[in-house]
């Protein structure tokens, strides 16, 4: 298959709290770039998540960790637009901005994991998301495609099976992608740090260094998972 022109290549955005970014996010992002022939994928940290408690870690620090994680991979970009807006970080506002930037004809996809999809009906103007972008859903270990209800009906109406169909129109379709399953979550990483256990190899080393330097998650529980001693942080001391 001929790669699309750089200027016309489809693009996508993966939003999240990234508290912290980990190899599950990164591997999925890269596999999607290659599978969907994307010109670029924006990793977009949420400043003020509307549907969950405010993260203890600031949006600036979370965005810094995204930058560190993707250094050297030009097909992934850290998109800080939600940090520049006040109020709740509505995804629809970001999609509207991206659509204006890329123009009306460019194929644009919003990427989310299956867990996020199941809460879609609580999102601000959720049905209008497809006016601005496609939705690409990543299957995640332990999560199932909605089987009944309003969301299941809406998905059935818009669902497509072929990647090529994402390229044929700029927005409006929903595609499920099974990628390499990596059962890693930010929650698990925060819990490991808080318990004094190492999350090493679940996330890039520069991100682990950043967490340790700024003691981002060590102060919440503070007991070692093996000894019960006060936690020293995420990295073993030399
Ligand atoms: P938390 O544990 O704090 O809820 P998380 O690990 O789910 O965080 P988020 O920043 O909330 O990470 O996720 C951003 C997006 O990435 C969501 O759409 C989520 O479904 C998806 N995602 C998170 N972890 C993975 C993973 N291991 N594989 C594929 N997708 C993932």
Residue 103 Cα, ligand 1 centroid: separation in angstroms? 28
- Assigned CATH for 11-178: 3.40.50.620
Question: Relative to the CA of 111, which ligand 1 atom is closest?
Answer: 18
Whether ligand 1 lies within 6 angstroms of the CB of 10 is answered as no
User: Could you tell me if the CB of 28 is within 6 A of ligand 1?
Assistant: yes
User: Looking at residue 228, what is its pLDDT?
Assistant: 40
Nearest CA to ligand 1 atom 30: 113
Phi then psi for residue 115, to 5 deg, are -65, -40
Residues near 174 by Cβ (< 8 Å), separated by ≥ 6? 130, 134, 135, 136, 137, 155, 158, 159, 160
pLDDT tens, the chain, 238 aa long: 344 444 599 999 999 999 999 999 999 999 999 999 999 999 999 988 776 677 789 999 999 999 999 999 999 999 999 999 988 889 999 999 999 999 999 999 999 999 999 999 999 999 999 999 999 999 987 888 999 999 999 999 999 999 999 999 999 999 999 999 999 999 999 999 999 999 999 999 999 999 999 999 986 544 444 444 554 556 655 5
Domain boundaries, the chain: 11-178, 185-238
The reply to whether ligand 1 has any atom less than 6 angstroms from the CB of 23 is no
18 lines ligand 1 (CB under 6 A): yes
Residue of minimum CA distance from atom 19 in ligand 1: 113
Please indicate whether residue 182, judged by its CB atom, sits closer than 6 Å to ligand 1: yes
Both tokens of residue 99? 């659509």
Q: Contact, 65 vs 20, CB < 8 A? A: yes
What pLDDT score was predicted for residue 141?
Answer: 78
The whole-angstrom separation of Cα 220 and Cα 191 is 9
User: How far away, in angstroms, is 39 Cα from ligand 1 center?
Assistant: 22
Alpha carbon distance 139, 180 (integer Å)? 9
Task: Determine the pLDDT at residue 225.
Answer: 46
115 lines ligand 1 (CB under 6 A): yes
Are 62 and 18 spatial neighbours (Cβ–Cβ below 8 Å)? yes
> Relative to the CA of 185, which ligand 1 atom is closest?
6
Cβ–ligand 1 distance for 116 under 6 Å, the answer: yes
Dihedral sign from CA coordinates of 23, 121, 33, 67: negative
């Amino acid at each position: 298959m001929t790669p699309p022109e750089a200027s016309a290549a489809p693009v996508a955005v993966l939003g999240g709290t990234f508290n912290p970014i980990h190899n599950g996010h990164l591997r999925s992002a890269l596999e999607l770039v290659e599978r969907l022939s994307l010109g670029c994928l924006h990793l977009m940290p949420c400043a003020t998540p509307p549907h969950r408690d405010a993260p203890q870690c600031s949006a600036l620090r979370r965005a810094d960790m995204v930058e560190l994680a993707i250094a050297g991979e030009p097909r992934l970009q850290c998109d800080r637009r939600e940090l520049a807006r006040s109020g709740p970080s509505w995804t629809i506002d970001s999609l509207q901005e991206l659509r204006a930037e890329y123009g009306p004809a460019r194929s644009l996809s919003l990427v989310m994991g299956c867990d996020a999809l199941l809460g879609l009906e609580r999102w601000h103007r959720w049905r209008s998301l497809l006016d601005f972008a496609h939705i690409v859903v990543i299957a995640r270990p332990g999560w199932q495609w909605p089987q009944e209800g309003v969301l299941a009906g809406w998905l059935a109406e818009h669902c497509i099976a072929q990647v090529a169909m994402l390229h044929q129109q700029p927005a409006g379709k929903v595609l499920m992608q099974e990628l390499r399953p990596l059962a890693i979550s930010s929650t698990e990483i925060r819990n490991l740090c808080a318990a004094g256990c190492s999350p090493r190899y679940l996330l890039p080393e520069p991100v682990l260094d950043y967490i340790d330097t700024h003691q981002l998650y060590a102060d919440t529980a503070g007991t070692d998972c093996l000894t019960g001693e006060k936690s020293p942080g995420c990295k073993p001391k030399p």
